[in-house]
Structure 1
Amino acid sequence: MAEREPSSTTWQQGMPEAGAAACGNADASRAALDILEGGGNAIDAAVAAAYVMGTVEPLDSGIGAGGFMIMHDAASGKTESVDFLGVAPMAASYELYPSMGAGNDYIIRVKGRENERGHRSVGVPGTVRGLGEAQAKFGKLAMADVLEPAITLAEGGFKVGHKAALRMARTEELLNFTEATRKLLLKPDGSLYRAGEEMANPEYGQSLRMIAHDGPDCFYKGALADLLLAEMEAHNGFLSRADLENYEAIWRAPATARFKGHDVATMAPPSSGGLVFAGLAALERESVTDGAHYDLLAGAMLEMFRKRAAGYGDPAFVKVATGESSETTSLAVIDKDGNAACITYSNNNHSGVVLPGTGILLNNQMMLFSPWPGNPNEVVGGKRPVSSMMPSLMFRDGKVRMAIGASGSTRIPTSIMQVLFNSLVLGDNLPDAVGRARLHAETEMLLADAELEETVADIAEARKLQLKLSPGRDPMLASVQAVAVNDDGTMAAVGDPRARASGMVR
């Protein structure tokens, strides 16, 4: 069994007695492994870790968020996925106006930025319904046991992590949006929390206790629903009682593919995960050398986004301001019995609205839609937006060999593509595969870690792309969390060092 490491450890490898977990924060990894040691399986552990992430990194995820989960039950051999994305309220509608962007480009904007911030930016949150159904279907423990780690941290306090502090600093203006938001996310003197400082959210703990006691319906039909609807009505939000009561998590057959002797299960549309494996399959036919592979990857990325853009309408006629945020939570768990789960979920960038008395920060997932009518991703009541989130599982000979997911907007698919390429084509071990420098090619832009400048400058010139370099290893180029099962039965768990994330084996 691997030794227990300090919270700064981003990866571990060892022979598991319980399993392995990779999360964006060490509190979540520890919670997952505690659940496994307490008799839970990977599905229980992943749901527990997801709720912990919503507690300790509240801007990125939580009760007010939505996303995807993919899971494998070893006893039955079933692999299933659940879509719990936020959906557009039935009354959602925005007034648009034309504007000129910073580069003198023509952009359609939403009046008052109502799709970006505030009560009208909130999509129907899916977290409680989706995670509740997944845990009830495949988990072993009572929901109260699964929620206990998050409740303990919310009520007893926790240390603010590196990424959480970074996020709060980058959205400081939005943290002043409402009195409840200021009360929760800023210190009494109005200053920001810094990494390592103590923070708590006892009202969130009480909300979790209500879910543990009353089940998911308390959020959609019960006491929490009443509080949410009162807040929406008071501030002219779109969300209605019918929107909440009619919300459903959707169980979807995973999208499947095959790459380098592995069977892959990832999220079906509205996720764009399947395009990643199509891109990897195309690269499998190429002659690859280490170092020269970045141009091949850039080409695969551009083709992937070309196919994806075909579902958004013709960008040659108008550039639409879209807003898929890089602020997401992703985590992966595999237990000793071969059960596995991977969750990616998000508040998008968050609305700036904390529901008073609950500690719940609400999403701004309406920003994921295109506000321009007449395209496949337009705002329609009851609709789910297109998403880059793609929690995935990889199998060999019918057994899970890897669970992998990432946070980071459109850099999610490109980062996962690179990590899998590094691992399965270049032969990197998992820590090295996650740790390599990355690039991201999309439409007319090439974003890359600054250390790749000499390599990517020629790629950008040859492909006529605007080059932007990212200094250091910023999580802007995505944060990947992955757990792998090695041939000798050991497990490797890697939390992306970009986000000072956490991988643990126990």
Structure 2
Amino acid sequence: MIPEKIELNRDKSSETEKLVSDTIKTENKVTCDKYDNSAFRLKDDLKDRKFRVILMSSLIFAFAVTISLIVSIFVNKPIIDGAVSSTSKVCSDIGLDLITRGGSAMDAVIGATLCETVVNPHSTSLGGSGFLIYHDKNEKTLSYDFNIMAPKNLNDQVLTQDGAILGNHSLSIGVPGMLLGFIEAQLDYGYLTWEEILKPIIKLARFGYNVTKSQEQIMQFVNYDSIICPHLKSMLFDENKEPFPAGTLRKRETYANFLEAFSKNPKKSFFTDEFAKALSKTSQNIGAMFTYSDFELYKVIKKNAIKSNYFDVTIYGCHPPCSSALVILAMKILSLYKDFNKKSLGEKLVIILKILRSTLSNTNKFDLKILEDKFAETAKESIDIVNFDWTNYKNDSTVASHVSAFDMYGGVASISTTLNSPFGAGVMTSLYGIILNDQLKQFDPPSFNNTDNKIESLKRPFSSLSPIYIYSENKACGQQISLGAYNIASNYGSNIISAVVQILQHLIYVNSTLRKTVADSLVFLVSKNRTLFINYEDLDDTTLAEIAKVFPNTAKLETPTTSINSVIYRNEKMIAYSDKRSFGEASVSSTFEKYQDLNVNNK
């Protein structure tokens, strides 16, 4: 467990206070001796005056330092350090600033994610959903599920055989739970007021932010006509229907007004009343299925996090329909290959991909029996190392956001959020400027034999989001990791799970550094043309040849698809890393280490 900062500061304060006190006594003694000992007499009055000025300045400074340290101890407000990793520098900075103002890791991830709703509206919004893990200073780890919910008045014929939504995008909008999730999570573990959290975000939305490189990249996949609402089109495209390039100053004053109104009434009643009214009015106007009453039926699901041991570490995750359980299952199967570490990189990657395929075949088996050792053993025996079965192998279109944060009170947070497709359903409410999801597409079509993810009234769909928290007592001073993956391109959703598993096997199995691990190649299977894609370019020819024996259709991705954000505490150091493939940058306090060499600044 990370030692509490308050205790550290008390110890350091006492030592510093004693040192300063001893210094004052020593300086006072020298001052007295100066006039009694002729060796210290100054012959020049001017030099004597300068000496007195220097001495008095030193005494005043020492006294001020002592007083500030004493005040820090008695008012119990230590100097607080922390780390935040998000998709953009400005959001990481906002999250870290909330910690330095006395906030918790919960305040930080909520603040950074809300910042992302402003600067990266293609990936997350309060009209979307997500999952959150929080590990508190008392060693309790909770899972928050605020995934979208199918409307009560659901047309169960909404999905066609191939999974497409009948009619326009508005039919794909589910009941969003992110705002209520934030309200309840912050009530549990937030230290700051909502006004304090939202102040910098309101300022950003009202007075302007720069279009990010991440949004510029995603606009390659966004068609002008796919955006339904005119005011959302004007936010994204210029008068020539061209996307605004990175660096363009944009404002979201309507959204700023909403955040300001919420900051003054941050209660569940705001979600079920004002928020519900605004969104249901939009729903009625565009022909969506959800209504005002759906918001009264919506509940945030809060439980103790699922967990499983893997060698000398404990992996924590969110409950299904989050994919954390699938990540844990894949890691358990991996541990059954006793000679895994002796194999070549190509052989390792093939095994991991086979495991992931086996794991994904269990998608939406919400029974936590998949975490049992016997289930992993059975799954391993069914894996065919030579052949690959593409049956029911589905890639969803999840574009997402992930934020990790540590505070020095011992709090750790890992949160993943999404709209599903870029800009969700292409709908933004005119009253509040909230972009709505198209997450009903995450249910499986009738052609799939997966009844667990069949669309039903008031049900929540499977999600590839996989926020993870890891703790190891056996590592020096207790290793802790908060991480998650997110897509920065469409139609690669299942790769979130693949990326998390590959990163974890490096961090835990190989004990690799965070910087090297995240920068390494990631390999993904894409069912659309049954091709294995490689997300980076540093695999050698021998490794590629070994992979090609099993996956003959192999290609390098021209555009990166999936990225990792993480914070790790190891060997009394806290390291934050935001994947350069998404142009992100982490923020850490000056006493900790930041890998700037692999990050691209995206203000």
Question: Is TM (by shorter chain) over 0.5?
Answer: yes
Alignment-derived partner of residue 300 in structure 1: 352
2:438 aligned with 1:364, yes or no?
yes
Q: For residues 452-497 of structure 1, what are the alpha-carbon distances to aligned partners after superposition, in whole Å with 9 as ceiling and x for unaligned?
A: 37355434443245323213xx431x1100001121x121100001
2:136 aligned with 1:73, yes or no?
yes
Q: Letter of the aligned partner of 1:367 in structure 2?
A: K
Cα 1:365–1:133 shift into 2, 3 Å: same
SS at match of 1:80: strand
2:87 aligned with 1:24, yes or no?
yes
Alignment-derived partner of residue 400 in structure 2: 328
CA contact (8 A) 1:86 1:124 kept: yes
CA contact (8 A) 2:398 2:464 kept: no
Alignment-derived partner of residue 166 in structure 2: 111
Alignment-derived partner of residue 433 in structure 1: 517
Give 1:281 shift. 3.2
- Of the structure 1 ranges 349-358 and 456-465, higher mean CA displacement relative to structure 2 is found in 456-465
Alignment-derived partner of residue 3 in structure 1: none
Cα 1:258–1:202 shift into 2, 3 Å: same
Alignment-derived partner of residue 100 in structure 2: 37
Alignment-derived partner of residue 148 in structure 1: 199
Alignment-derived partner of residue 371 in structure 2: none
Alignment-derived partner of residue 419 in structure 2: 347
Query: How many pairs are equivalent?
Result: 473
SS at match of 1:111: coil
Q: Letter of the aligned partner of 1:463 in structure 2?
A: V
Alignment-derived partner of residue 219 in structure 2: 168
CA contact (8 A) 1:21 1:29 kept: yes
Give 1:311 shift. 4.5
Higher relative contact order (CA 8 A, sep 6+): 1
SS at match of 1:306: helix
Q: Letter of the aligned partner of 2:483 in structure 1?
A: I
Counterpart CA distance in 2 for 1:227 and 1:97 is: 26
SS at match of 1:124: coil
Cα 1:341–1:214 shift into 2, 3 Å: same
Q: For residues 262-293 of structure 1, what are the alpha-carbon distances to aligned partners after superposition, in whole Å with 9 as ceiling and x for unaligned?
A: 11111221122222233223333433458923
- Write 1 or 2 for the structure with the bigger share of strand: 1
2:574 aligned with 1:491, yes or no?
yes
Alignment-derived partner of residue 152 in structure 2: 90
Give 1:45 shift. 0.8
Counterpart CA distance in 2 for 1:305 and 1:160 is: 37
SS at match of 2:118: helix
Give 1:91 shift. 2.0
Counterpart CA distance in 2 for 1:462 and 1:182 is: 46
Give 1:80 shift. 0.3
Q: Letter of the aligned partner of 1:434 in structure 2?
A: V
- Of the structure 1 ranges 227-236 and 125-134, higher mean CA displacement relative to structure 2 is found in 227-236
When the two structures are superposed, what TM-score results if normalisation uses the length of structure 2?
Answer: 0.73
CA contact (8 A) 1:80 1:252 kept: yes
Counterpart CA distance in 1 for 2:329 and 2:213 is: 35
In structure 2, runs of 5+ residues without a counterpart are: 1-78, 366-387, 488-492, 590-603
Q: For residues 186-212 of structure 1, what are the alpha-carbon distances to aligned partners after superposition, in whole Å with 9 as ceiling and x for unaligned?
A: 235533111111111111111111221
Counterpart CA distance in 1 for 2:220 and 2:441 is: 21
One of 277, 283, 287 as aligned partner of 1:236: 287
2:137 aligned with 1:137, yes or no?
no
Give 1:356 shift. 0.8
Alignment-derived partner of residue 279 in structure 1: 330
Q: For residues 341-385 of structure 1, what are the alpha-carbon distances to aligned partners after superposition, in whole Å with 9 as ceiling and x for unaligned?
A: 011000111100011131111111111111318722111111111
Cα 1:455–1:445 shift into 2, 3 Å: farther
Alignment-derived partner of residue 60 in structure 2: none
Mapping for residues 419-458 of structure 1, pairs under 5 Å: 419-441=503-525, 444-449=530-535, 451=537, 452=539, 454-455=541-542, 457-458=544-545
Alignment-derived partner of residue 553 in structure 2: 466
Cα 1:317–1:370 shift into 2, 3 Å: farther
CA contact (8 A) 1:322 1:368 kept: no
Alignment-derived partner of residue 404 in structure 1: 483
Counterpart CA distance in 1 for 2:344 and 2:494 is: 23
Alignment-derived partner of residue 116 in structure 2: 53
- Of the structure 1 ranges 219-228 and 245-254, higher mean CA displacement relative to structure 2 is found in 219-228
Give 1:298 shift. 3.1
SS at match of 1:328: strand
One of 286, 301, 306 as aligned partner of 1:250: 301
CA contact (8 A) 1:95 1:110 kept: no
Cα 1:303–1:283 shift into 2, 3 Å: closer
Alignment-derived partner of residue 415 in structure 1: 499
Counterpart CA distance in 1 for 2:86 and 2:93 is: 9
Q: Letter of the aligned partner of 2:232 in structure 1?
A: T
Give 1:63 shift. 0.9
Q: Letter of the aligned partner of 1:266 in structure 2?
A: G
CA contact (8 A) 1:72 1:340 kept: yes
Larger Rg: 2
Counterpart CA distance in 1 for 2:393 and 2:446 is: 9
CA contact (8 A) 1:128 1:219 kept: no
SS at match of 2:102: coil
Give 1:41 shift. 1.0
Counterpart CA distance in 2 for 1:318 and 1:450 is: 23
Q: Letter of the aligned partner of 1:364 in structure 2?
A: D
Counterpart CA distance in 2 for 1:174 and 1:302 is: 39
- Write 1 or 2 for the structure with the bigger share of helix: 2
CA RMSD of aligned residues (A): 2.7
Counterpart CA distance in 2 for 1:291 and 1:326 is: 33
2:276 aligned with 1:225, yes or no?
yes
Cα 1:291–1:299 shift into 2, 3 Å: closer
In structure 1, runs of 5+ residues without a counterpart are: 1-15, 100-106
Q: For residues 1-39 of structure 1, what are the alpha-carbon distances to aligned partners after superposition, in whole Å with 9 as ceiling and x for unaligned?
A: xxxxxxxxxxxxxxx951111101111100011001111
Q: Letter of the aligned partner of 1:498 in structure 2?
A: R
Q: For residues 30-74 of structure 1, what are the alpha-carbon distances to aligned partners after superposition, in whole Å with 9 as ceiling and x for unaligned?
A: 001100111101111111111001111011102111010000111
